[in-house]
Chains A and B, each alone.
Chain A
Amino acid sequence: MISTRLAPSLRSSVAVQSQSFLYRSQRPLSSHRFLSSLVVAEHDHKSLTGGTLATLTAAFALKGEAVDVLVLGKDVQSVAAQAQKVNGVKRVFVSSSPHYEQFVADLLTPSIVQLQNQEKYTHILAPASNFGKNLFPRVAALLDVSAISDIVQVVDGSQFKRPIYAGNAIATVKSLDPIKVITVRGTSFDKAPVSNGSAEIVNLQPASGLDELSGKITWVSKEVTKSERPELTSANIVVSGGRALKSAENFKIIYDLADQLKAAVGASRAAVDAGYCSNDLQVGQTGKIVAPQLYFAIGISGAIQHLAGMKDSKVIVAINKAEDAPIFQVADYGLVGDLFNVVPELKEKLASKKA
């Protein structure tokens, strides 16, 4: 497969390389394009997400000359202040506008492209969260390059590893584009520490034309689950329920066990589709990717698509009535039993051990 494509690809890769070589030698020394990265921050107007901190680690792994951060939002001072303290960040660009408040991809894109045209980064990165997946292909399109989705490893400045086929295979890909636009899987990189960095803060004007653009695409409303529980993608322990819970009322036993363990709550697609819980709990190939220290899969059969979202968990515990459920093939500890008996018993015994 690869050999039949080699000749034309070699030609085009040589063409790109010679183009960039000419580009470098003709330009004055001060504007040589060293490897430099921009991380577009995902945040909630209070702090950076864990995924953004993991993306910063991926950016540092590129071993370039500089890593800058771009924070777009409405009132983002505290986010910028946090980004400033990440050791290794050179500049934090901040741009505020009411149009950025709800992170509508169409409205964020122009600012990123504008900054890219000004600073000429070789790499632009964002977390491979819903935010990044929605936004970054637009950025890549306007820069006329192929975006690289959901990387799990940086091999070098142009080679990366990324999961395909629901994580049943890992592809090593090489980008021939002069700018790499990348989204980063948050569970594959440690979060960059926020400590004593002292990056420069640079304020930017919002991009022009946003009033007109917001006529074409308008944010109307959102329904987000407010929860005291840990956030699913960064929790140490996750308790997930599947279709075997049979109802939204029954799902309470998942919440109860999670609260006993101070864990986050997840779910299989089947449970969400059946209406037992909200969609933001979905763990899987097209839902959230999690890799906690401990993952409980309760009443979850273990379809390929669910495994894709949790098989990098350190320890997996499966509780299922069917002893041949595929989940037992990846579980470190499997308990064949009726979850309606097992889970309350587990919760009670954990509670009494604490007492």
Chain B
Amino acid sequence: MSLKVLVTCKRVVDYAVKVRVKPDKSGVVTENVKMSMNPFDENAVEEAVKLREGGIAKEVVAFSLGPKGNQDTLRTALAMGADRAIHVETDVQNVQPLAVAKCLKKIVETEKPDVVILGKQAIDDDSAQTGQILSALLGWPQITFLSALELKKDSNKVKGVREIDGGLETLEASLPVVLTCDLRLNVPRYATLPNIMKAKKKPIDVKTPADLGVDVDPKLQVLSVEEPPSRQAGKKVENVDQLIAELQKIGAI
């Protein structure tokens, strides 16, 4: 059997960047700021490519929704091993997970993958929703926050270990399935230079939300963005006795 895997990736401000709020409070500064593939999506792409390398999947299709710059992210996915990519191009800001999932649903209807893998959360909006929404819209089972995945050849079931508040739980789902992954699922590979060169020749199919009949105008608007309450700098203590004294003084212990 040979599965088709659809994997999503989002272009976000790099995780190491110290994000700054714009003075006009309309958002965060993204000009001249390093952009990267969302870390959880790297795990998703890695898992998809591993499935193909393991002979369980025959094709890995990468997907991204966003402005033209998202093609950089798709090229990275292609360099990591995805076979081809689909870019749903839009300049609309703050597109909600519901709209992304609706676009994905249309792509799923054409591409007919057996597995859709997403990162569990995007580190910019921290919504952690798209996978679950897609699963509900498609009527497919979901296994989210995966830290381990077992998908055997010629099986129509997948077993996933997921992280829950108290520890770990194992679920089994029948295909087709929507999966979202945590960082602990795998170690994403670096794209090697030869693969980056090869990736330039892999196709990226560009569509618009209108092509898919999806309205991506956000129904959840961002009115303003502000700094969080700041913490004042504290003080250094020389030794444990001083620390205990300070904490007792404020009644913390």
Give the B-binding residues of A (Cβ under 8 A): 1-2, 5, 8-9, 12, 102, 104-106, 109, 129-131, 133-142, 144-150, 159, 163-177, 215-225, 237, 261, 269, 272-273, 278-280, 285-286, 288, 293-294, 304-305, 311, 314-317, 328-337, 342, 345-346, 349-350, 353
Residue of A nearest to B160 (CB): A220
Is B201 part of the contact surface with A, judged by Cβ < 8 Å?
no
Residues of A within 8 A of B228 (CB): 163, 167-170, 311
Interface string of B80-109 (1 = CB under 8 A from A): 000000000000111011100100000000
Known A-B contacts A1-B26, A166-B126; the reply to A279 vs B184 at CB < 8 A is yes
Say if the beta carbon of B193 comes within 8 Å of chain A: no
Does B137 sit within 8 A of A, measured CB to CB?
A: yes
**Best-buried of B27, B164, B246, B247 by chain A (most CB within 10 Å):** B164
Q: Can you name 10 extra interface pairs (CB under 8 A) apart from A286-B128, A311-B231, A335-B236?
A: A105-B144, A137-B97, A147-B98, A163-B228, A167-B228, A223-B169, A224-B167, A317-B247, A331-B234, A334-B235
CB distance from A237 to the nearest CB of B (A): 8
A5 in contact with B227 (CB, 8 Å): no
Question: Which B residues are in CB contact (< 8 Å) with A334?
Answer: 234-237
Given the complex of chains A and B, what is the CA–CA distance between A147 and B165 in angstroms?
21
Whether a CB of chain A sits under 8 angstroms from the CB of B240 is: yes
The total of interchain contacts (Cβ-Cβ below 8 angstroms) comes to: 269
User: Given that A141-B98, A170-B225, A280-B166 are contacting pairs, would A106 and B135 also be in contact in the complex, using a CB cutoff of 8 Å?
Assistant: yes
Provide the residues of chain A in CB contact with B134, threshold 8 Å: 141
For A349, the chain B residues whose CB sits under 8 A away are 240-241, 244
Question: Which residues of B approach A to under 8 Å, CB–CB?
Answer: 13, 15-16, 18-19, 21, 26-28, 40, 92-94, 96-98, 101, 120-121, 123-137, 140-145, 147, 159, 163-174, 182-184, 217-228, 231, 233-241, 243-244, 246-247, 250, 252-253
Chain B nearest CB: distance from A156 CB in Å? 12
Main secondary structure of the interface of B (DSSP, over half): mixed
Could you tell me if A294 and B144 are in contact, using CB atoms closer than 8 angstroms? no
Say how far B44's CB is from chain A's closest CB, in angstroms: 14
Chain A nearest CB, measured from B221 CB (Å): 5
B217 touching A8, Cβ below 8 Å: yes
Q: Which residues of B contact A141 (CB under 8 A)?
A: 98, 101, 132-134, 136-137
Query: Does B120 lie within 8 Å of A217, measured CB to CB?
Result: no
* Chain A residues near B159 (CB-CB < 8 A): 220
Q: In the complex, are the beta carbons of A1 and B121 less than 8 A apart?
A: no
Assuming the A-B contacts A169-B227, A170-B228, A172-B223, are A346 and B166 also in contact, with contact meaning beta carbons closer than 8 angstroms in the complex? no
